[in-house]
Structure 1
Amino acid sequence: MSPEPSPDTRAQRAATKRHRRRRIALYLAVAVLVATVGLGWFTYAKLSGNITRLDVSKILGPRPSTASVSEGAPEALNILVMGSDSRQGIGTTEYGKDTVEGGAHSDTNLIVHLSADRRRALVVSIPRDSMTMAPKNCNDPNSTVANGEVRQWNYNFNQGGPGCVIKTVEGLTGIYIHHFAVVDFRGFQDMVDALGGVEVCTTKDIDDADSQFTLSEGRHRLSGKEALGYVRVRKTLGDGSDLNRIKRQQAFLSSVAQEATSTKLLLRPDRLFSFLNAATKSLTTDPDLGLTTMSSIAKSVSDLGVHNIEFVTVPTEQYPADHNRVQWKASADALWAAIRDDTPLPGSTGTSKPTATSTTPAKPLTVAPDAITVRLTNDSGVEGLAVQAGSALAVQGFVLGGYGNGTVGSVKGTVIRHRAAQSEAARTVAAAFPGAVLKVDESVGDVISVHLGIGAANPVAVPNRVGTEPLPTMTITATDPETLQTRNAGQDICN
């Protein structure tokens, strides 16, 4: 019979067991931590490895300047997203095996503009059948839009890939493209499936032989393959134009945005990973648009909300040489100016669009309103427009230098004339008029001359305004007959 252990021995053994349990618990905690971190790194490496990188910088040649911002301040971002119609890897030949010329086209072309303050996102659709100037040889840095040729838009991708599309966009619009992304058919299908399908709404029965797709009137949740057929239907709906297809695609993207930002996805890590895995597998981007940059961009727009995302199509008209093609209207210039200047669209008419209350210029304003004298000229022919604008400026501290009536049609939108020495003061005035165009004119003296034409936006509050009195209610608008029609991503998909 073994002797009874002494109290000291029992206490020592108990302490040893406690230490062992603590060590085991510590080892388990470390193991869990290592496993968790390892899983994070595995996920990062997996998603990052999915993305194809393509450096097109050497062929771009001369590029537009970016908006000047103070050091450390956020800047607006422009991302060109192209949908490649490559059929590889989609598991079906229903949409054809290849394009006639060989290689892929980019039938979907989107410029995604994120405002510097990350309060607005604008998605611009460029019609595939647009006839525009384009570089003759996209691989030659010296071949530009200016010395190029007329080409149908979706052939740019076929002839020179993403670099050719970027050169054409920048050359035509003066907009600097910070990043690009190409998504192919396969990725589109897989992303929709990863979301558990996407809801669509059609007001008519669809029976399209080309896409081998049928759908009855009403709301439906579509799988990836079905959704691909839905967004590609063209000839059997409406007038069969690409413009109607773009409207349907914008409604579909609105539905995707609503689905992808819902808590249902965020609360399902498996589904979220599947969505990100599908997205990155089909993605080709510039070398700087990696997961770290994407994560940073995503974080910066985390509070944006779908109601602050707008879709708009480049305004077009029939192309004289071929009535099956389109050309951009002159009113497209106002769209490009709004993106370049990082201001809201002039006179847009989107459903459920929030009212703009202020704008945040890319560069901080340096001249206060009470140090600026403004003269307002009404070139719109809309009675009372200038006086209404003057009231909105006065409550912010601007000094009113009088009113005048100009020639109707002499300007479109808002044109602000100023002496070169008054450029900083003119920027403060321009912050009050979304989409305004600044022009140097030494004849105006020390007064900032504001000309309000058809399509001019009503004034908003400037960041450095004087006083807190609210702006008066503005009931007069200078509606442009070619007002940009926008779609808000938060509106009902059946609208």
Structure 2
Amino acid sequence: MDDADPRGGTPDRDDTPLRRRDLHRPTATHPRRRRVLLAVLAFAVVLGLVAGVAFWRLSGNINRVDVSGALGTDRPTRAPQAAEAVNLLLVGSDTREGEGNDEYGMPEADPGQHSDTNLLVHLSADREWAMVVSIPRDSMVPAPPDCSPTAPQEEWTVKQWNWNYRDGGTGCLIRTLEGNTGVFVDHFAVVDFRGFQDMVDALGGVEVCTTQPITDQDSGLQLAAGTHVLEGEQALAYVRTRKSLGDGSDLGRIERQQAFLSSVAQEATSSELLFQPTRLYGFLDAATRSLTTDPEFGLGTMRDLAESVRGIGLDNVEFLTVPNEPYPADTNRVQWQESADVIWEAIREDRRIGEEPDPAASPTPSEEPLTVSPDEVTVEVLNGTGAPGLAGQTGDFLAAQGFTVASTGNAVDAADGTLVEYSVGQEEAARTVAAAFPGATLEEADGLGENVRVTLGPGSATPVEVPNRVGDEPLPTPTAVAPSPGPSASPTIEARAADEDICS
């Protein structure tokens, strides 16, 4: 018989085995677990706050300048295949303004700040390769007078490259670059002497290789032949040394700068920089303290770009210099060779030097029904083949189908095939014109208004009847034929891979 409960009623009984009851009892380990969890959460919060403060601090370091008003409204358009590519203009300024910048070297006889180093960086749309193009500071190129954002290109005058930066800052430099190359510049970044030195110091020095001893009176740099690890101030003197080495030209200095940048890339990727938060922060702090960029090129954009190019190997990063030759009026200056167009075209079309253009990448007439009648389209025809009478004959072909032919004439240096150009808003009219030229390439252009321009190059096909032609007038019998394209001789463009031996 069960014992009676002193308070009355039936005594409590619990037949649950002891082990099962223990599972539901508070134990001594639960408070300990809670303390660990709270500590982890607190650490995560603190880490997030530290990261946020660091991001805010680094972002606040950057000086941002809006140069959009200096770029004009006639900026280059992008090829469809290059829509996701990114073009960066990196400028090394020789300004003596700002704390510490007056300590380095002797000022130029020409006062003011100049673009001492000019690098156009192209990051491919697929982020699998990159091209870094050095533009000689002594290049003589057409430039807008007084850095005017509205002066048409036919009014531009030849001027030394780095004077554009002196006269109108980064905006004038970008406008000059875009006008001479057709390459659209997405972002820019300018770094001064102090910023360069601080970045090198944050890396712990950069290794350089010189095949001859250096004694430079202007900077005080003295190096024996061989390899050396240079700290910031020495490194700055090394990349700026010019008169005491080789022929004393800017071109020799560019070669040393490219080798130096290769060494920086090798050091940054082979060291533990990216995996040491304190060291990485020190480098980024140094990099941003003397940096000027456009408003859209902030730390977030830089981080996103850095993430997108993490997989690019150094063997897929190439350094090259704009092909050049002595400028006839002053042989101490240079002018760009025609072969420079190979570089600009490759960047515009987002392909590596030496790769054949992808026919599928060029916009061609679609198979969709034409929406604009020929009698609503005015056409200009240019003959770039050298074959007499070809432009007039082509105009007759188009007129017989209802097109209005405004003019015919000759073109210089036309590309192979048929090019159909149009202004914004005339895409459908251009498709109707292109339907008359099998294999034609469609391309947006400026300054055509409502007209569509046809340029006939070697290998251009004889026009055909468009599906929505007007009238039934017979097409003329062709007598002039475009000559076949000649063999393409692609000029040699010398390039240096970022993984190349710095002593080579």
Does TM-score exceed 0.5, indicating one fold? yes
Other-structure match for 1:46: 57
Other-structure match for 1:304: 312
Inter-CA distance 161–213: structure 2 relative to 1 (3 Å threshold): same
Unaligned runs of 5+ in 1: 1-6, 347-355, 368-410, 429-437, 457-479
For residue 137 of structure 1, give the secondary structure of its aligned residue in structure 2: helix
Inter-CA distance 443–101: structure 2 relative to 1 (3 Å threshold): closer
Inter-CA distance 423–335: structure 2 relative to 1 (3 Å threshold): farther
Conservation of the 8 A alpha-carbon contact between 2:437 and 2:461: no
Distance apart, 1:75 and its partner CA:
1.2
Conservation of the 8 A alpha-carbon contact between 1:198 and 1:221: yes
Distance apart, 1:427 and its partner CA:
6.7
* The one of 74, 82, 95 aligned to 1:86: 95
Distance apart, 1:321 and its partner CA:
1.4
| One-letter amino acid of the counterpart of residue 219, structure 1 | T
2:301 is the counterpart of 1:293: yes
Distance apart, 1:46 and its partner CA:
1.3
Other-structure match for 2:417: 417
Q: Distance in 2 between matches of 1:25 and 1:107?
A: 56
Conservation of the 8 A alpha-carbon contact between 2:365 and 2:435: no
Conservation of the 8 A alpha-carbon contact between 1:76 and 1:362: no
Conservation of the 8 A alpha-carbon contact between 1:63 and 1:176: no
Q: Distance in 2 between matches of 1:248 and 1:52?
A: 28
Q: Distance in 2 between matches of 1:33 and 1:86?
A: 43
Inter-CA distance 209–122: structure 2 relative to 1 (3 Å threshold): same
Inter-CA distance 94–191: structure 2 relative to 1 (3 Å threshold): closer
Conservation of the 8 A alpha-carbon contact between 1:231 and 1:245: yes
Inter-CA distance 74–326: structure 2 relative to 1 (3 Å threshold): closer
Other-structure match for 2:122: 113
What TM-score, normalized by structure 2, do the two folds share?
0.71
Cα RMSD, aligned residues only: 3.4
Distance apart, 1:439 and its partner CA:
6.2
For residue 154 of structure 1, give the secondary structure of its aligned residue in structure 2: helix
Other-structure match for 2:408: none
Q: Distance in 2 between matches of 1:450 and 1:492?
A: 44
Work out the percentage of aligned pairs sharing the same amino acid. 51
* The one of 429, 434, 451 aligned to 2:485: 451
Conservation of the 8 A alpha-carbon contact between 1:205 and 1:217: yes
Distance apart, 1:31 and its partner CA:
1.0
Other-structure match for 2:145: 136
Distance apart, 1:85 and its partner CA:
0.8
Other-structure match for 1:253: 261
Distance apart, 1:101 and its partner CA:
4.9
Other-structure match for 1:69: 80
Q: Please identify, of 23-32 and 238-247, the stretch whose mean Cα deviation from structure 2 is larger.
A: 23-32
Q: Deviations over 1:260-316 (max 9, x none)?
A: 122422232222111111111111101111111111111111111111111111111
Question: Which residues in structure 2 correspond to 1:92-171 (within 5 Å)?
Answer: 93-96=103-106, 98-138=107-147, 140-143=148-151, 145-171=153-179
Other-structure match for 1:32: 43
For residue 36 of structure 1, give the secondary structure of its aligned residue in structure 2: helix
Inter-CA distance 297–361: structure 2 relative to 1 (3 Å threshold): farther
Number of matched residues? 398
Conservation of the 8 A alpha-carbon contact between 2:76 and 2:184: yes
For residue 237 of structure 1, give the secondary structure of its aligned residue in structure 2: coil
Conservation of the 8 A alpha-carbon contact between 1:134 and 1:168: yes
Q: Distance in 2 between matches of 1:239 and 1:421?
A: 56
Distance apart, 1:21 and its partner CA:
3.1
* The one of 16, 32, 42 aligned to 1:21: 32
Distance apart, 1:116 and its partner CA:
1.1
Inter-CA distance 214–452: structure 2 relative to 1 (3 Å threshold): farther
Unaligned runs of 5+ in 2: 1-17, 367-411, 420-433, 443-453, 465-481
Q: Distance in 2 between matches of 1:362 and 1:164?
A: 32
Q: Deviations over 1:31-79 (max 9, x none)?
A: 1010111111112111111111110111211233332438xx9611111
What TM-score, normalized by structure 1, do the two folds share?
0.72
Conservation of the 8 A alpha-carbon contact between 2:418 and 2:441: no
Inter-CA distance 364–455: structure 2 relative to 1 (3 Å threshold): same
